[in-house]
Amino acid sequence: MTTFLSQVERLQAPEIDYGAVAPLLIVLGAACLSVLVEAFLPKASRWAAQVVLTFATLVAAGLVLLQYAVAEGTPKQGTITFAGTVAVDQPVIFLWATLLMLGLGSVLLIADRSVEPGGAIVADASILPGAVNGLREQLRRREMQTEVFPLTLFALGGMMVFVAANDLLTMFIALEVMSLPLYLMAGLARRRRLLSQEAAVKYFLLGAFASAFFLYGVALLYGFAGSVKLADIASATTATDRSDTLLYAGFGLLIVGLLFKASVGPFHSWTPDVYQGSPTPVTAFMAACVKVAAFGGILRVLYGAFERSSWEWNGVLWAVAIASMVIGAVLGLTQTDVKRMIAYSSVAHAGFLLIGAISLNDAGLSGTMFYLLAYGFTTIAAFGVVSLVRNADGEATHLSQWAGLAKRSPVAAGVFTFLLLALAGLPLTSGFVGKFAVFAAAIEAGLTPLVVVALVASAVAAFFYLRVIVLMYFSEPAADGPTVSVPGAFTAIAITLGAAITLVLGVYPPDVLEWAGAGVFIF
Amino acid sequence: MSWTLIALLLLPLVGSLVVAFLRGNDRLAKTVALAFSLVELALAVLAWTAFDPGGERLQLTSSADWIPAFGVHLSFGVDGIALVMIALIAFLVPVVIGGSWADKLPEGRSAGGFFALLLAMQTGMVGVFAATDVFVFYVFFEAVLVPMYFLIGRFGGPNRQYAAMKFFLYSLLGGLIMLASVIGLYVVSADKIGQGTFDWATLVTVTREAPLSTQIWLFLGFFIAFAIKAPLVPLHTWLPDAGAEAPVGAGVLLVGILDKIGTFGFLRYCLPLFPAASKELAPLVLILAVVGILYGSLLAVGQSDMKRFVAYTSIAHFGFIALGIFAFSSQAGTGAVLYMVNHGISTGMLFLVVGMVMARGGSRLIEDYGGMAKLTPVLGGLFFVAGLSSLALPGTNSFVSEFLVLIGSYPNEPVYTILAAIGMVLAALYVLWLYQRVFQGPVRGNALVGLAGGPGAAVDPEKAPVADLNKRELAVLAPLVALILVLGFYPKPVLDVITPSVGATLSEVGVADPVAQEGK
C-alpha cells in the first residue's frame, strides 16, 4: 500500500500554462456545453441558444487569445506546456486567431436561416433520402439539426490542437477530433440528400485511410527516433546510426495523411465530391478552416521534425506540389459546377501553399500563413455568394445557370467577380499579396523552377475564373435562370467581411504581414 | 514630395466613381466624364511645365511606405519618356470620350458604365508610366487589364467575348512571367545590399552588377511580358482580335497607350536593369522587330476588315519602335520614343476615322464601301490625312520619328535597317490602297449603295443619306490634325523633353554617344 501511494505521489500532473491554452479550453469546453444544450433544451429554443453560445465562444476565445498575445508577461518566443505536447508560439497564435476568425465567418453561414427557409442544414437527418415525401418533409420543417454547432466547435477545437501539437501522437488525436465531426457535417445538406450522404461516406472512408497512413507513419517514426516528439525526431535525423528506411517510410506515410487533409493533389480525389455534396456553409468551413489547420500541421511537422533532412524528401514534395498545381488548374478547366470548380481551385491553391511550406525559411513560414488567412476569407465569401444563387430546386450551382447574372443582381456578380480575381491572384487583392509572399520566399530558397510552374498554373487557372466572369457579365440570362436571394443578416455579414478583408489585405497588407512574421515555431 | 502626379492618378479614379454613380443619366454622365478628362489634361499641362528637361533623371517624385515587409514603397516620378506618355494619355482620353459620345452600345449597356471604365483605365495607365517602384509598376500593369477586359467584353463587337478573353489571358500570362522576374529582382537586391528593395533607381545600380546568366533570365521574364504588350511577332495574335472587337474608343487607347507599355518597359526596365543581357539578346529582338515590320505590313495589305487593318499596321509600327530602342544609338532611341507619341496620335486618329466610316456604313468590311469621298468629302480628306501620317509622309509627325529611327539605326545595324526600310514602301501601299478602295471611284459597296437607294441606283451626292462629319466629329479630329502638322514641322518641344532621358537610359547601357541630337 505504501509503495503504491509513493508511486502515486511520483505521478505528478504536468504543469499547465492555463493562460496560453485558455482559448483552446474555451472552445472545447463550450463544445461540451453545446452537447448538453442539445440534450436538455426543447427543440424550439435550441437554434437560438446554440447560435448565441457558439458566437459567444468564438468571440470570447478570440478576446482571450488577443489578451494573451499582447499581455506583458507573455514569453515572446512562445511557451511549451502540457508536458511538452502543446506549443503556443507566435505562429500558433496567428493560426489560432485565423481559425477563430474563419470559424466565425463559417458559423455565420451555417446559422443563416433566411436564404434557405430553415437553413442549409438538414431538418431531420433521420428521414431517409429515398423515403416517400422525404424531401418535402425536409423542406416543410423550418428547423435545422442543431447538432451542427457542437460539431463545428469540436472540429474547430481539434484544428487548434492540431496546429499546436508538439508531438505526433497529440497531432493524431487532434486530427481525429477535427475530422470526425467534419464527416458528419458533410452529410447534413437539407436538399440533395443522397449527394450529401455520398459525400459524407466518401470523405469518411478516404479520411479513415488517410488517418491510418498517418498513424502508421507515426509508428515507423517512433521506431526510427524512439520518440514521437517533433524535437526528438529532428535530432534523430542528424544522427548517423539510425535506419534511413524507417525515416523515409515513416515520413512518406505521415505526409500522405497530412497532404490528404490539405487536399493537395494527387491526394485530392475526395475534394470535388465532398465540396459539391456538403451543405455550402459546411463546404466553406472545410475549404477555409481545414486548409488552415492542415497546412498549419504540415508547416509544424516540416519545420519541427524534418527541416534538417529536407534534402532527402524535398524532391518528392516538389513533384507533389507540381502535380497539385497542374491537376487543380487543368481539371478546373473542365468543371461545369461552380462548387466543383472552387474545389479544383483549392487543389491548385494547395500546391501554391505547399511551395511556401517547403521553402523552409522564415519568409516561407510567414508567407504561407498570410496566404492561408487571405485564402480563407476569400473562400468563405465566395461560398456565401454561391449559396445566394438559387432556383426552385435550391442552389443553382451549374455554371450555365449563372449566365447573365450581372443583369439580375449587379451587386452579387460584382462581389463574386472581385473574389474570383482575388483567387486568380490579381494585384490589389489579398490573393496577389499572398502569392507574392509565397513565391518570393520560394525564389529566395532556390525553388525558382517551382515558381515558374506555379505562375503558368496561375495563368491556366485564371481561365476558369474568367469564364465565370464572362458568363455573368457578357452572356444573356436564361429565361428560367436562377434568382439571387437577398441575404439575411448572417450571410450578408459573412460575405461583406470576407470581401472587405480580401480588399484590405490587398491594398494595405503590412500590418498583417508583420504579424505573420512576428516569430517562428518553437519545439 | 510633389502632388502633381498623385493628382493625375487620383482624379480619373474619382471621376470614374462619380460617373459610375450617374449611370442612370447618360447625358450627364458623359458631360461629367468629359469635364474630368479635361481637368486631367490641364493637370498634365501643369506637370509638363513643372518638368525641367535638364534637371534630375526622375522628377515630380513622391514616395510613401506601402509594404515594408517586402521593401515596397508607393513611389512615383517621371522622366522625359514617361512624361510625354502621360501627356499623350491626358490628350487622348478627352478625344476618345468625344469620339465615343454617340456610339451605339450593345443592347442593355449604359454609356455611363462605358465612360466610368474609360476613366478607371486612365488611372491605371498613368500609374504604369508614373510608378518608380517595380512592385507598384507591376500592380498597375495588371490592374489596367481589368477595365480594358470589361470595355472589350461588354461593349465590343459581335465576337467580343472571345477577344476579351484572349486579350486578358495573353496579358496575364505575360504579367505572371514578369512577376517571376520581379521577385527575382527583389532576391538579387536582397543578396547584394542585404535589404530587398523594389526601388527602380536602387535596382539599376544593383542588377547591372549581376552575372550575365542571371541578367538574361530576369531580362527574359520582363521581355516576354513587354513583347506580348507591344506586340512583337510571334506574340501578337491577340491584338488583331482585341483591336477589331474593341469599341472604337477603347481601341484607340489599346493601340495608342496600352501597347506602349511594352515599348516603355523595354526602355525603363529591360535596358537599364539588364544592360549586359540587353546587348547579348539585342539581335533576337532586332530580328523580331524586322519580322514584325514586314509581316505586319504584308498582313495589313491583305486585310478585308478595317479595324483589323489598323491593328496590323500597328504591329508594323511597333517593329520600328523596337528597332529604334535596340539599335542602341541616341538618335534611334529618341526617334523610337517620339514614334511612340506619334503612333498614338496618328493611329488613334486612323482608328477614329475608321470608326466614323463604320458608324455611317454599319460594316467593318472594306468591300462594303467604295467612292465614299463623293458622299463625305470632309471625312475622306481627314481619313487621308490620318493615312498619310500613318505612312510617315514628310511634313507629318510620323516622318520625323521614322526618319530618326532609320538614320539612327543604320550605323549600328545596317542590315536590319535596310530591311525595315522596305516597310516604308509597304506602308504607302497599304494606306493608299485602302483609301482608294473605300473612298475613290464610283459609289459602290453594300454598305453605301444600300443606303443610297438600292443597287444600281444613281447616286446624287447632294441627296445622299450618308451625312458628312458633324461638328462634334470635327471637334474631335481637329486637335489630332493640328498635332500631326505641328509635330511634323516643329517637334523640338517634345524632343527636348525626350532626348536627355533617352541619353541617360543609353548611358546606363554603356552606349558611347549620349550626345543630345536635334531632330531633323
Tell me if A157 is assigned to some domain: yes
One-letter identity of residue B118: L
pTM of the model: 0.90
Low-confidence ranges of chain B (pLDDT < 70): 1, 450-465, 512-520
Q: Tell me the nearest-neighbour CA distance from B176 into chain A, angstroms.
A: 6
Query: Given an 8 Å threshold on Cβ–Cβ distance, is B153 in contact with A444?
Result: no
Show Cβ contacts of residue A506 under 8 Å, excluding neighbours closer than 6 positions.
Answer: A422, A427, A428, A429, A430, A431, A432, A433
Given CB atoms, is A24 within the 8 Å cutoff of chain B? no
SS3 of B60, please? strand
Phi, psi of B90 (to 5 degrees): -60, -30
pLDDT-wise least confident of A21-25, A90-94, A191-195, A510-514: A191-195
Q: Which residues of B touch A472 (CB under 8 A)?
A: none
pLDDT in tens, A394-444: 888 898 888 888 888 889 999 999 999 999 999 889 999 999 999 999 998
Say which residue, A135 or A509, is predicted with more confidence: A509
**Sign of the C-alpha dihedral, residues A159, A161, A164, A168?**
negative
CB pairs under 8 A between A and B: 91
Confidence grade of residue A339 (pLDDT, cut at 50, 70, 90): very high
Closest in A407, A437, A509 to B108, CB measured: A407
Give strand ranges (E) for A370-414: 389-391, 394-395
Contacts 24+ apart (CB under 8 A), A240-248: A244/A312, A246/A220, A246/A221, A247/A221, A247/A309, A247/A312, A248/A312, A248/A313
Query: Given an 8 Å threshold on Cβ–Cβ distance, is B160 in contact with A474?
Result: yes
Tell me if A9 is assigned to some domain: no
- Nearest one of B412, B422, B188 to B295, comparing CA atoms: B422
- Nearest one of A29, A52, A275, A253 to A160, comparing CA atoms: A29
Query: Given an 8 Å threshold on Cβ–Cβ distance, is A440 in contact with B186?
Result: yes
CB-count exposure of residue B487 (10 Å: 0-12, 13-18, 19+): buried
Helices A291-304 and A90-111, axial angle in degrees (round to 10): 170
Residue of B nearest to A436 (CA): B183
CB-count exposure of residue B459 (10 Å: 0-12, 13-18, 19+): buried
Residue B241 CA to its chain's centroid (Å): 16
Query: Given an 8 Å threshold on Cβ–Cβ distance, is B179 in contact with A436?
Result: yes
Strand partners, B131: B76
pLDDT in tens, B254-311: 999 999 999 999 999 999 999 999 999 999 999 999 999 999 999 999 999 999 999 9
Q: Which residues of A touch B139 (CB under 8 A)?
A: 427-428, 432
Phi, psi of B60 (to 5 degrees): 55, 40
Q: With helix as H, strand as E and coil as C, how does B313-339 read?
A: HHHHHHHHHHHHHHCCCHHHHHHHHHH
Q: Which residues of B touch A459 (CB under 8 A)?
A: 169, 172-173, 176
pLDDT at A358 over 90: yes
| A342-370 average pLDDT score | 95
- Nearest one of B287, B335, B272 to B508, comparing CA atoms: B272
Say which residue, A221 or B57, is predicted with more confidence: A221
Confidence grade of residue A224 (pLDDT, cut at 50, 70, 90): very high
Which residue bears the cell 535596310? B418
Omega of the bond leading into A510 within 30 degrees of 0 (cis): no
Query: Given an 8 Å threshold on Cβ–Cβ distance, is A439 in contact with B66?
Result: no
DSSP A223-269: HHHS--BHHHHHHHHH-SSS-HHHHHHHHHHHHHHHHHHTT-TTS-T
pLDDT in tens, A376-387: 999 999 999 999
pLDDT in tens, A122-167: 888 777 766 667 777 777 777 888 899 999 999 999 999 999 999 9
Please give the DSSP secondary-structure letter assigned to residue B269: I
SS3 of B275, please? helix
Which residues of chain B are at the A interface, by a Cβ-Cβ cutoff of 8 Å? 65-70, 108, 138-140, 142-143, 145-146, 150, 153-154, 160-161, 164-165, 168-169, 172-173, 176-177, 179-180, 183-184, 186-187, 190, 196
Query: Given an 8 Å threshold on Cβ–Cβ distance, is A462 in contact with B165?
Result: no
Closest in A426, A455, A474 to B177, CB measured: A455
Q: Which residues of A touch B168 (CB under 8 A)?
A: 462, 466
Query: Given an 8 Å threshold on Cβ–Cβ distance, is B179 in contact with A455?
Result: yes
Instruction: Go through A365-386 and write b for each residue having 16 or more CB atoms within 10 A of its CB, e for each that does not.
Output: bbbbbbbbbbbbbbbbbbbbbb
The H helix count followed by the E strand count for chain A is 22, 5
Q: How many domains does chain A have?
A: 1
Tell me if A370 is assigned to some domain: yes
Strand partners, A80: A87
pLDDT-wise least confident of A253-257, A270-274, A402-406, A428-432: A402-406
Whole-angstrom CA distances from B362 to B99, B121, B282, B357 are 16, 27, 44, 8
Q: Sketch the domain layout of chain B as residue ranges.
A: 4-509
Specify the pLDDT at position A313.
87
Tell me if A111 is assigned to some domain: yes
Query: Given an 8 Å threshold on Cβ–Cβ distance, is B143 in contact with A427?
Result: yes
Query: Given an 8 Å threshold on Cβ–Cβ distance, is B142 in contact with A426?
Result: yes
Q: Which residues of A touch B150 (CB under 8 A)?
A: 473
Query: Given an 8 Å threshold on Cβ–Cβ distance, is A459 in contact with B176?
Result: yes
Please give the DSSP secondary-structure letter assigned to residue A309: G
Structural domain boundaries, residue A86 = 17-516
One-letter identity of residue B148: M
DSSP B288-317: HHHHHHHHHHHHHHH-SBHHHHHHHHHHHH
- Cell numbers placing A465: 475564373
Query: Given an 8 Å threshold on Cβ–Cβ distance, is B67 in contact with A443?
Result: no
Specify the pLDDT at position B363.
85
Mutation target among B9, B13, B23, B70 for the A interface, most CBs of A within 10 A: B70
Residue of B nearest to A459 (CA): B173
Confidence grade of residue A479 (pLDDT, cut at 50, 70, 90): confident
Please give the DSSP secondary-structure letter assigned to residue A120: S
- Nearest one of A491, A466, A464, A405 to A120, comparing CA atoms: A491
What is the rounded CA–CA span in Å between residue A176 and residue B106? 56
